[in-house]
Amino acid sequence: MFCPKCKSLMYPQGDELVCKNCGYIEKKRGKKIVKTKGKEKELAIIEEKVEVLPKTRITCPKCGNKEAYWILRQTRAADEPETRIYICTKCGYKWREY
């Protein structure tokens, strides 16, 4: 990276590039940082969504974990009861209750 003012080599200093010759300072492009932050935000939102689901004490048929999230799913036919979908908090295995 060269200084746009005096064309001498610039040195990185924190998140800035500094020209030792004329003192010109240029901010490094924060594209990468912004992208990482966006990804972190996305992950946090997904975690929040999972956290909102109610938990219940039930044994996972796959790994034997004693806790699972559950979601009520309405069936299309009115005379049929609602179906509970369980999602294991440990292995993520999904099953339903009849």
Which residues have a catalytic role annotated? Answer: 79-80
> With binding defined as CB under 5 A, does residue 17 bind Zn ion?
no
> With binding defined as CB under 5 A, does residue 88 bind Zn ion?
yes
> With binding defined as CB under 5 A, does residue 75 bind Zn ion?
no
> With binding defined as CB under 5 A, does residue 44 bind Zn ion?
no
Instruction: Specify the stretch interacting with Zn ion by CB under 5 A; choose among 1-9, 37-45, 46-54, 74-82.
Output: 1-9
In angstroms, how far apart are the furthest CA atoms of the chain? 82
CB 62 within 8 Å of CB 90? no
CB neighbours of residue 40 within 10 Å: 10
> With binding defined as CB under 5 A, does residue 22 bind Zn ion?
yes
Distances from the Cα of 5 to the Cαs of 2, 9, 11, 24, 54, in angstroms? 9, 11, 14, 7, 61
Residue number, 4 or 38, with CB nearest to Zn ion: 4
